[in-house]
């Protein structure tokens, strides 16, 4: 099954409203948990979430999109649970996600996140690192202390997911040390499933667990989230090359400047085209200036990397919907999940 923009359950505004509603439902839970952190770790976390400025004054900085907690709540609802039951699980996945962002910004030496200086540039690497570690522990504590009967299974699942995510992140970093031709497309897809798909899958699986679903339904929801997560990463990689800095809060062509072996780049390098050769040459240069970045983006496009990523994202979405239909045969009960999955392939930031 493929989704079209005419499909009433997949309209963008519907997903945006869902994400807003999710933040309203889940942010107080995240915030009250973060506020229990001690000293400077708390300050870093409050800053990272946009609730405080660097000097500790209250702020309303731009929040994250809240895709993962929205998936938890939507999966719980699709399988018949009351949303309120799954709020702690939703908070937990968002905490885990933000732990990875804090660390990822350090590893990538990214100067901006959500239109603000990254936490490590403000507070230094050690404090940002420790705040990330504490946030990971908080994520697991929120789940472990939840009196809901799914608590133990959900905690184990999130812990396994974080390990998978770390392995995906490690693979991504390892790719950076390899030559332009030394990363295969299959390896790159496997890395993206670990780095991004695992947590989206886990989010959906946690929603199912909190709804008291059986093993097969939980697995189907996990697969739905993983496929949607890969589509999400494909779009994220396109945004990393062609995203508008005003929307992304990151410099133009950020992933090319960093010589990232993202999915469209690796597809272009593996294309066997003259443009792929040009890209390999550009990626072998020690530094890419502004002209070099534009030439690299152009080469990815001419080598077919951009089209490939767009077609793949649509294909992964189709697979996602097939998995979802195994757990929720009447897809009209899963409108919110479909809207969110569609949203991640349409977003621009």
Ligand X SMILES: CC(C)=CCC/C(C)=C/COP(=O)(O)OP(=O)(O)O
Footprint on this chain of ligand X (rule: CB under 6 A):
64-65, 67, 100-101, 104, 114, 165, 169, 195-196, 233, 236
Contact 344, 256 (CB under 8 A): no
CA distances from 241 to 244, 251, 312, 322 (A): 9, 10, 17, 30
Q: Nearer Cβ to ligand X, position 88 or 114?
A: 114
Q: How many residues does the chain have?
A: 349
Q: Nearer Cβ to ligand X, position 75 or 282?
A: 75
Q: Which residue is nearest to ligand X (CB)?
A: 64
Question: Cβ 163 to ligand X, closest distance in Å?
Answer: 12
Question: Cβ 168 to ligand X, closest distance in Å?
Answer: 7
Beta-carbon count within 10 A of 11 CB = 16
Contact 91, 30 (CB under 8 A): yes
Q: Nearer Cβ to ligand X, position 101 or 139?
A: 101
108 φ, ψ (degrees, to nearest 5): -85, -5
Question: Cβ 169 to ligand X, closest distance in Å?
Answer: 5
Q: How far apart are CA 319 and CA 227, in angstroms?
A: 7
Q: Nearer Cβ to ligand X, position 11 or 104?
A: 104
Contact 19, 65 (CB under 8 A): yes
Beta-carbon count within 10 A of 260 CB = 19
Q: Nearer Cβ to ligand X, position 267 or 344?
A: 344
Question: Cβ 249 to ligand X, closest distance in Å?
Answer: 9
Pairing between β-strand 116-117 and β-strand 112-113 as defined by DSSP bridges = antiparallel
Q: Nearer Cβ to ligand X, position 81 or 188?
A: 188
Question: Cβ 122 to ligand X, closest distance in Å?
Answer: 17
Q: Nearer Cβ to ligand X, position 145 or 244?
A: 244
Handedness of CA 64, 69, 75, 81 (dihedral sign): negative
- The residue written with tokens 């152009």 in the block is 298
Question: Cβ 326 to ligand X, closest distance in Å?
Answer: 26
Question: Cβ 329 to ligand X, closest distance in Å?
Answer: 29
Beta-carbon count within 10 A of 126 CB = 11
């Amino acid at each position: 099954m493929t989704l079209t923009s005419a499909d009433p359950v997949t309209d963008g505004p519907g997903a945006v409203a869902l994400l807003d509603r999710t933040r309203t439902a889940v942010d107080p839970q995240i915030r009250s948990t973060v506020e229990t952190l001690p000293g400077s770790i708390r300050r870093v976390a409050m800053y990272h979430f946009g609730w405080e400025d660097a000097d500790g004054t209250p702020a309303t900085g731009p929040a994250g999109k809240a895709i993962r907690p929205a998936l938890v709540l939507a999966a719980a609802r699709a399988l018949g649970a009351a949303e309120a039951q799954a709020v702690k699980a939703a908070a937990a996945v968002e905490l885990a996600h933000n732990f990875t962002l804090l660390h990822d910004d350090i590893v990538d030496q990214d100067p901006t996140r959500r239109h603000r200086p990254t936490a490590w540039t403000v507070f230094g690497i050690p404090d940002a690192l420790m705040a990330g570690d504490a946030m990971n522990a908080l994520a697991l504590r929120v789940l472990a202390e939840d009196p809901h009967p799914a608590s133990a299974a959900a905690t184990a699942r999130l812990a396994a997911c974080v390990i998978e995510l770390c392995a995906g992140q490690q693979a991504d970093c390892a790719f950076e040390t390899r030559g332009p031709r030394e990363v295969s497309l299959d390896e790159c897809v496997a890395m993206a499933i670990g780095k991004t798909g695992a947590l989206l899958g886990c989010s959906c699986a946690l929603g199912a667990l909190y709804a008291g679903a059986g093993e097969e339904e939980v697995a189907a929801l996990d697969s739905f989230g993983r496929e949607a997560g890969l589509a999400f990463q494909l779009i994220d990689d396109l945004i990393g090359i062609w995203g508008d800095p005003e929307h992304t809060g990151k410099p133009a062509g950020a992933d090319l400047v960093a010589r990232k072996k993202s999915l469209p780049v690796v597809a272009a390098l593996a294309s066997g085209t003259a443009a792929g050769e040009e890209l390999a040459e550009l990626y072998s240069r020690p530094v890419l200036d502004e002209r070099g970045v534009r030439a690299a983006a152009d080469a990815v496009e001419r080598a077919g990397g951009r089209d490939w990523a767009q077609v793949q994202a649509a294909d992964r979405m189709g697979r996602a919907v097939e998995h979802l239909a195994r757990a929720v045969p009447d897809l009209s009960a899963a409108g919110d999940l479909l809207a969110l999955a569609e949203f991640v392939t349409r977003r621009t930031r």
